[in-house]
Each structure stands twice: as C-alpha cells, then as structure tokens.
Structure 1
Amino acid sequence: MTPKHRAAKPPAALRRSPQQERSRAMVERIVNAGQQVLIAHGYDGASTNRIAAAAGISPGSLYQYFPNKDTVVAAVIERYTGALADRVRTHVLANLTRTPDVAVPETISELLDALGDHPELLRAVVEQTPRLSGGERVLAFEQQIGELARAALALRARSVPAGVDAEAAAWMLVRTVEHLTIRYVLDGPPIARERFLADITRLVLNFFLDPVRAEREH
C-alpha cells in the first residue's frame, strides 16, 4: 500500500487531534499536500501557504491542526516510514524460520520494491530528515527492523559463528542493508538488480558463516 493511501493514526505533532471523520479527512488532505510540496519544492521551498494551496484550503484551516511546516513535513515522514516499516516487518516475520540464503534475498527484494514505489518521496525524506524531528521516526524504524534482525540471529544461533555479538551484528546488518538499498534506488540503479541482490546477499550471509568452517569446506 502506498504512503498516499495508507490509513494511519493521526500524526503525533498535531495541534489538536481530529475526532470526526471530516477532521481526519482534512488532516489526511494536508499531509498529502505536504508530500506533494516537499517533493516538488524541497524543504526550503515548502511553506504553509504552499501546502495550504495544494490542499485547496486556507492557511488558517491548516493552522487549526499543524502549527508550522515542520510538523506537516514530519507527518509526511512519519506516514512514509510507518508504511515502510509495516511492509518490511510483515515480510521479515514471514521469513524468520526460513534459511538465510532464501530469506535474505527475498526480504531485500521486498525492501527494494517498497523503496522504489516512491523514489521521489524517498529522496525528499533522505535529504530532509536530518533537519527535522522526523529523524526520530527513521531511527524508530531502524530499531524495529533491528529487533527482527536480532530475532533472526537468535533463531540461527547454532549457525552463527561463536563470539559474534548479536547486538552489533544486528546494528551493522540493518544499516548496511538500509544504506545500500536506498543508494541503489536513488543512484540509478547503477548495476543490474540481480547482481545487486546476489552481492548484498553474500555480504549479509557472512554474519551467518563460521570463517573457520568455511575455510575447511573450501
């Protein structure tokens, strides 16, 4: 489901929480407009006036719910990262009991699809997040996926090399995959998808291989 159509709880930064369907629809309309303006004009070019115009409402109507443009953009980021987290979490959970050589490429392929659905929004979020409180939402997303990575490592404790720190491994796994998949989507992509999946899978699977055992097998 795309961020534009995802039914979500009201953003945490709202000036007042919408209680009626009409109010919730207004908030959704403002967030949709904020997404359009962020993509078209970037953070610096965004303004409450532009967002209100895109939503077809007056600035005063916008201010009833959002105190400034930062809270609108933060709501856009919250909705987007929430949709990503839901989609990836569902796929990871479905693959937890499968062997890493099967689960890893399938999960990364799903992540590529999710990121690739809205590359223009992904670019805007990646560029603007460090300047907003929305960065906390991205961090929360990373923590959620990190928990799943730790669960995957725990389920396969017998195959994980002795001495591997699950916390450190999960941190590195999540951020390595996150960074490489985002850059793959935003940079072109620079190489064939099949090549990318094969190479990043090999990189991730190193966390599940005992180097001494692997050396003996070769």
Structure 2
Amino acid sequence: MVRRMIDAGRLVLERDGYANFSTNRVAEAAGTSPGSLYQYFRDKDDLLTVILDQYWDEAAQRVEASLADRLSDSPDQMVRNVVNALLLALEQDSQLLHVAVEAIPQQRLQSRHQALRRRVQDLVSTYLNLLLRSSGRNASTRAWVIVVSMEGLAVRWVLDRPDISREELVEELTALVENYIGALIPEA
C-alpha cells in the first residue's frame, strides 16, 4: 500500500507538477482515500520528502555502481563511465528531475541533494587520491569541483535538450575533466 502511494505520488508530481501536488490527487491516483494516505504520511510534504529521497537515492546508486568497481580505470575511461552513468541516472526520470530542480523550492532539496553529491564526491575523491597520490593536492576539493561541474552540465543537458548529442556531451565533459586532472598531475 505504501509503495502504491509513493508511486502514485511520483506520478502526480510528474504529471501535474509541484504546484498541483496534493494528497487528494495522490490518493485518487493510488485508488485509495485521503484518510488512508494520512495513515502513512503526515501530510503532502512528508510524502514529497519520501518521493524525492528515493529519487536522489536511485540516481546516486546508479552513479556509484559505475564508479565503485572502476577505481583502477584510466582517467579517460573513468570520466566516460561517470558521465554516462550520470546522464542515464538523470534521464531515467527526466520529468521528476524537472520538477525537483525547477519547481520545488530548493531549500526543500538541499540536504538530500547534498547527501547525493557527497556520496559521489567521496568516490571521486578516493579515485583522485589513488591517481594523484604523489602530488599532495587536496583531492576532496578537486572532487567537489569535478562533481559539481559534471552534475550541473548534465542536469542542464537533460532539462534543456540543447542541440548537442549525448556523444558530444560525453566527449566535452571528458575533455574538461581530463584537462583539469592532467593539470594536477605533477610532471616527472
């Protein structure tokens, strides 16, 4: 029942947008009464929090899965894998991404989005520590720059759909990150 309500809430959020998101609409879409919905969720904000938490968790898991077993990859291959995983994760539910990024007040998303970014940033930081171990540079700061840049560009590509193919975007992001990482590697 709870899963059905969450799925219905996600459907209503995507279909009707944040401004029209209501417990009555969710209950109707779930084929239940608003009273039944209130047995599991305090209010629409409580349900919205669960929906967005699950969305960001799913996106993080997809990206993490592409990174976790690839710490020995070359920078070129690692960046391509991350970019592709990020794009796939964001495209998976682009309607919900649109609502989450452009319609919902950002303070509602801040802590959850930060947690997602931190999970991916930690993996990138680990990779950079392995790659740049002799440089003594701050891998955490570098990872933040890379993750935020890639995330921002990927989100805008999914939402704006510019006249840029996926392959072109992957190439450009790969070049951007490779050049950045390459500038960090001390010459022998």
TM-score by length of 2: 0.91
For residues 84-124 of structure 1, the C-alpha deviation after alignment (integer angstroms, 9 at most, x for no partner) is 11111111112111110111112211211121121111111
Superposition map of 1:162-181 within 5 A: 162=135, 164-181=137-154
What percentage of residue pairs aligned between the two structures are identical? 38
1: CA distance, partners of 2:164 / 2:80: 16
Alignment partner of 1:58 is 2:33: yes
Gaps of 5+ in 2: none
Query: CA offset at residue 169 of structure 1?
Result: 0.8
Question: Is 1:32 the equivalent of 2:7?
Answer: yes
The answer as to whether partners of 1:105 and 1:201 remain within 8 angstroms in 2 is yes
| 1:118 counterpart residue number | 93
> Which of residues 51, 62, 70 in structure 2 aligns to 1:76?
51
What residue in structure 1 maps to residue 176 of structure 2? 203
Question: Could you say which structure has the higher helix fraction?
Answer: 2
Mapped partners of 2:26, 2:159: distance in 1: 25
Counterparts of 1:85-124 in structure 2, within 5 Å, are: 85-124=60-99
CA distance in 2, matches of 1:64, 1:189: 44
CA distance in 2, matches of 1:211, 1:54: 52
Does the Cα contact within 8 Å between 1:34 and 1:76 map onto a contact in 2? yes
- How many residues align? The count is 187
Q: 2:120 aligns with which of 124, 133, 145?
A: 145
Separation in structure 1 between the aligned mates of residue 186 and residue 27 of structure 2, nearest angstrom: 62
2:17 counterpart letter in structure 1 = G
Please report how far the alpha carbon of residue 74 of structure 1 lies from its aligned counterpart in structure 2 after TM superposition: 1.1
CA distance in 1, matches of 2:76, 2:97: 28
Runs of 4+ in 1 over 4 A off after TM superposition: 211-214
Write the mapping of 1:152-163 to structure 2, written as runs, cut at 5 A: 152-158=127-133, 162=135
Q: In 2, distance between residues paired with 1:135 and 1:71?
A: 15
> Scaled by the length of structure 1, what TM-score is found?
0.79
Secondary structure at 1:78's aligned position in 2?
helix
Residues 98 and 56 of structure 1: CA distance in aligned 2, closer, same or farther (over 3 Å): same
What's the Cα RMSD here? 2.0
Q: Is the 8 A contact 2:120 2:147 kept in 1?
A: yes
Instruction: Work out the CA distance in 1 between the residues paired with 2:148 and 2:137.
Output: 17
Change (3 A) 1:170 1:158: same
